[in-house]
Each structure stands twice: as structure tokens, then as C-alpha cells.
Structure 1
């Protein structure tokens, strides 16, 4: 899509737009690069924040690791997009392609294997991309998400700032693109359990965690409905949703109830699944 000031205004509030404009004018954008339509940059605020936008996507698919939890994009994203309006960074895609084409296949394989060996998140996404089903259980995935809650504020039990769950949503998306819906459902289920059970320690920014929970819940229901499964698997999914409604965090119980009800109705009305006890 066209990168214009009006397009940027459409994805943020007026106040955020003004702050982003000021950040750009103050020269707070560092290390801005573009590969094809993806722009990455570092923006200085109270600390250095990583920003990513896609200039070809409607709404620019903004991502930033800052704690902003208001409506629309944050000021760091706005600053980067406004920089692209005035002076879009050169596309380094050809340079990257040239380097890849000239690289020795064995050296490239060694480099990739070394990176995959030391980066668990990248390894999980790589295996998902090449069609490997997840070998991690929902409990194992959940443990890594729980650690993010614990690391956010290690001195206290309370979480005051948003947590970035992008790596798990990206992993689920990789599985969905490979039509491995059961694996994607496992990732979404881990997110649901961790978010639901850790909400008691959240103080503020409730909308952020509620949106993440809703996104994971919608993904879970969609993937369970799409995956090949037997009656026992369906009963397990419905039992899990029932448990979230009855024993999960009250703040999120209404969110759980809506898709659970529609999921149950759709399966109850299916002749091939009428035997499933709801």
C-alpha cells in the first residue's frame, strides 16, 4: 500500500502520531533497513526498541517490543513509517539474494545448523516451515511462555507491562501455513493455559492480555475444527474449553464461553460427530 501521512494517521491516534513525528524529527531512528517490503529499525526511547513494519500489507502489520498498550500503533512504529514517507530506505533484497546465491552450500548449511542449534525459537519455526509436526507438548510449550511472565518482573509476582507473545503466534502461523492444524492447536492451547492462569498476576494493561487470549482462543478453535481428529480428540478439546470457562480466570471466562458454545453447536449438529458427549 502507499506509505503516506494519511495512511499512517489511520493506524494510530492523533496524540501518538504527534509523538511519532517528534521522535522522527529528533533523530531517534537508528539502523533502519529494508528487505523487499519489510522494514526493520531501532528507535530510541526510554531504551532501544525494535520495530518492524510491512509496507505492502494493509495497515503495515506493525510490530514493536515496547510496552505501549493503547489503541493503534505506537509512536516508535509511527516514527519509522513517517521516515519511510520522506526517505524510504533502499531495498537490500538484491544484496541478500546475491550473497545467498554465491554462498557455498555446505558452508551455508553449517551456518544455518549452528544458528538452529543455539536458537530454540528459530529452530521451532524452521521445523514448522519444512513440514515437521511439533514434538513439544502443550505443557512444554506452556513452560516457555510461563517463563516470560516470570522474567518480566523477577523481583515481584506482579506484571505491570505487556508481554510480547509474537514468537508463539508466529510458530502457530507457520504450522497453519503448512496445514498442520493439530500442531498449531497445541501452540494455541499452551498460550491459552499460560495466559489464563497467569492473569492473576497482571496489574494493568488488561486489554493487551485479553486480546492475546482472544486471538489464541480463536486460533485454537479454528485449528481444532480444521484438523483431522477422532471423537476422543474432539471431546478433549471441548472438555478443555469447558475447563477454561469454569475454572479459569473470571476476567477471561466470558471470552472463553463464546467460541466454546459455537464450537459445541457446530459439532453437535454434525451427523458424523453426534456421538461426542458435550
Structure 2
């Protein structure tokens, strides 16, 4: 795959592109690895920032845990992509595949169990794919997401920097890939509730939190419509949105109203089919 400077310019502003060039020239990329088309890196700024890009994805599907909330990609992402122009990191995908092929099944099982025992995020995704009986409740997920707000700035109530919600969006995607729409709905609802109730704490990175909220709300509507066939469950799904119109964050009321109307329309279409 060929990564060009023009393609990188297309996903950022001119000023950010120049800053990315500077970061690359200053050797601020501390670690960089690649498996298949996914590149992960650590870039040094005011602190160490984690970066992930997909060299084959639309717009490179960039992600960074820095507080940048301007248009397009941040300078850390740009630096990593520019590092890949004409000189992408060696692909360790084949090495990984070869190691999996020769690994002893019992050893592999023991390694997987040990890893899953200590990594909640991976364990949830494992259950989502392989254990259809396992789904955590909205309250359990909500409490975990709320703790992210507490950890981000423990000395103050206000949250200044973005929070990485990707583990919950990835979990919802895993459920959707397994056609477990009801479980995905649970994850999206926990995200919507937590973001709605904590939005008043946000003082910075507004675009980041607004985009996460919109993504979670859209996911909730889509999956609730696909998962809800019983009248009572349909009423509950819409009722949650209606309740948030009046009880949630005031400036999000219109979004909840539109989502409720969209869900009603989708449910009506499902009923007619």
C-alpha cells in the first residue's frame, strides 16, 4: 500500500500538517509497530500519546488520545502517517500468523486464559464473541464508564482532556458482528447515559465528547430497532429517549428528541414488514 503526503494532507489542516512534519523531524515517534494494515505508535508531546492508524482504512481511520479537538487529524497522527510515507514499519502479521500456527494448543489456551483473567476489556470482547449468555447490565457498564471521568482528572470535578471510549465502542461492534443487537444496545445505552450525565463536567475537547455522544446515540437507535420485537421492549427503548429529552442535559434535548422520532419510525417500519 502506498501512503502519500497528499493523502495525509487531505485529513488535516495545513498548520497541523506542518506541526506533524516538525514532530517527525524532531524524532518524537518513540515506538512504532505494524500488524497487517494497523500501525500503532507512541508520540512524545507534552506527554506520551498513543496513536493508531489503519493504512488501508478510509481517511486512515486515525485515533489518538491527545486533547486535540480541532478539524481533522492531530499532529501526532500526521507525524506517524508521514513516517509511513515510503517507509512503513515492517509488517509483523506474518510473524504473528506463523507463531499461532506452531503454538501448542494447551500453551495457547493457558496464555489466553491468563491474559483474559487480567484484562477486562479483552475479556468482555471474548465473551461477546464466544459466550452468548454473557452480557453485562447497563448499570455495570455505566459505572465503569463513569469511573473514566473520575480517573481523568481526579483532583477536580471538571474534565479538560478527551476520554478514550474506544473499548466500549469496540465491544458494541463485537456484539453487532455476532448479530447480538440487544447486547450492543445495552453498551450504547450505558455510553449515552454516562456521556449525558457527565457532559456538564466537560471543559475542553468539546468536539470529542459531542462526537462520542452522537455515535453512541446513533448506535442505540440502530440496534434497539433491530433488537426490539416485543411491544413492551419497544416502549422501553423509546421511553428512555423521551425521558432524557426532559431529564438530561438541556442542550442535548434536541438530539434525544430526534433519536426518539427516528426510533419510532424504524420500529413502525419493522412492524409493517
Instruction: Assess same fold via TM > 0.5.
Output: yes
Q: CA contact under 8 A between 1:29 and 1:43: conserved in structure 2?
A: yes
Give the deviation of 1:205 after TM superposition.
Answer: 2.3
CA distance in 2, matches of 1:133, 1:125: 13
TM value normalised by structure 2: 0.96
Across the two proteins, how many residue pairs are aligned to each other? 273
What is the RMSD computed on CA atoms of the aligned residues?
1.6
Give the deviation of 1:177 after TM superposition.
Answer: 0.7
CA distance in 2, matches of 1:271, 1:132: 26
Call closer, same or farther: CA 1:24–1:229 in 2, change over 3 Å. same
Map of 1:166 onto structure 2:
166
Map of 1:214 onto structure 2:
214
Call closer, same or farther: CA 1:88–1:269 in 2, change over 3 Å. closer
TM value normalised by structure 1: 0.94
CA distance in 1, matches of 2:270, 2:60: 39
Map of 2:260 onto structure 1:
260
Map of 2:4 onto structure 1:
4
Give the deviation of 1:134 after TM superposition.
Answer: 3.9
CA distance in 2, matches of 1:30, 1:271: 55
Corresponding position: 1:180 with 2:180: yes
What SS does the aligned partner of 1:59 have?
A: helix
Map of 1:194 onto structure 2:
194
Matches within 5 A, 1:1-278: 2-130=2-130, 132-268=132-268
Give the deviation of 1:61 after TM superposition.
Answer: 0.8
- Structure 1: which 5+ runs fail to align? 274-278
CA distance in 1, matches of 2:215, 2:88: 32
CA distance in 1, matches of 2:125, 2:96: 21
Give the deviation of 1:188 after TM superposition.
Answer: 0.1
Q: CA contact under 8 A between 1:131 and 1:178: conserved in structure 2?
A: no
Call closer, same or farther: CA 1:266–1:23 in 2, change over 3 Å. same
CA distance in 2, matches of 1:72, 1:194: 26
